[in-house]
A = this chain, B = another copy of it.
């Protein structure tokens, strides 16, 4: 199995969570037309319809097909369409061509969801521990796709020069820009990271193991849009000395001069395109949609650095991962200015935080057996770990040991940064 220590749950409570998660996915997709839900805007993104179907395929395949006697597939041809990357599950639609599938329609995919939902609910009381654990995994899997769905649809809408809004904008926040950042000294010496076996976790979060933390401090808050504009205005994107060599080539090849979705209008004002369309940048809110290259260059410009995964995780282990600006329901999502307070804040919510740690296995890691073993381990090369959670992360999905990961050039996810320093 791809997770460790599935938490024992009653069929009722599991069924209630199942219904809740599935309903949120549908609420998120509700504003989309059939066309909105079908088009693929880049190879890294998937159509919303594909997310809706793929998450259902996961339940159908690993629970209904494998653990429910007599279950017949909703449609024998659909696994080819909706398998993502599980080599063990056979041939599948090429990732880059997911957007070609205009049929089945969005309505047909909704019927598929309803069918799978009904079958799962019916089967639930009789499922034993292994399929229940897979169901749990499926729910966390679906939560990941909720975040991807929001990212991907925002990317698609951003390609449209009409700048359509998917949802109605919330009124702008009115807090003032936070003051100078403060440094919070981190733990020094031996410490433990990795999941501890209580509650659901993905296989890549474990096993729990010891690390050694050298003297360091973390910034008490995230870097803001206002600070990022200072970087831009200081020529940050034009000075090679701040940049990794690969990052500098990326900046030049792609003519990057601001975070993704930032657009400067004729009046000189910066706007950010989001799910609610193009809105003026909120200077006090955390910067978002930056690549690892940009995060590293910004840190270099300040003279500081990014946190390591272990530094971040040890610091976060005593904080409540259920707090912060995370996703609770459909609607406008955006980063929010920091509220009053002290100490490490914004550790969960607003944006995923780039760390300076590559996504490599924890000591003692072993991938799960079977198809679900392809879930994480095979991606452990070339990517960087991001910690925390973002405003597009379903609340409850993330935790201190959670390991999100992206390639250094990617920035369509809600990613920002927190500074760290050696002491």
Contacts and interface: CB of A to CB of B under 8 A. Distances in A.
Contact of A358 (B212, B247, B358): B358
Contact of A357 (B77, B102, B209, B360): B360
B360 A381 contact: no
Given A34-B35, A35-B106, 8 more contacts: A35-B39, A38-B38, A81-B162, A100-B160, A212-B212, A216-B363, A244-B381, A358-B360
Contacts of A41: 100
30 contacts: A33-B105, A35-B35, A35-B39, A35-B105, A38-B39, A39-B99, A39-B100, A81-B161, A85-B245, A87-B240, A87-B241, A87-B248, A93-B161, A99-B99, A100-B156, A100-B159, A100-B160, A103-B164, A190-B190, A210-B212, A211-B212, A214-B364, A244-B379, A244-B380, A245-B379, A305-B361, A356-B360, A363-B422, A364-B422, A382-B408
Interface string A241-258: 101111110000000000
A406 interface: no
Q: Which of A35, A240, A292, A293 has the most CB of B within 10 A?
A: A35
A101 interface: yes
Contacts of A101: 160, 162
A281 to B, nearest CB: 23
A378 interface: yes
A282 interface: no
A42 to B, nearest CB: 10
A36 B102 contact: yes
A80 interface: yes
Contact of A33 (B93, B99, B102, B305): B102
Interface in A378-396: 378-382
Q: Which of A216, A296, A378 has the most CB of B within 10 A?
A: A378
A115 interface: no
- Specify how many copies of this chain sit in the oligomer: 4
Interface in A335-384: 356-358, 360-361, 363-364, 374, 378-382
A357 B381 CA distance: 10
Interface in A80-124: 80-81, 85, 87-88, 93, 97, 99-106
A139 interface: no
A37 interface: yes
A397 B410 CA distance: 37
A34 B159 CA distance: 18
A39 B161 CA distance: 17
Contacts of A363: 214, 216, 308, 422
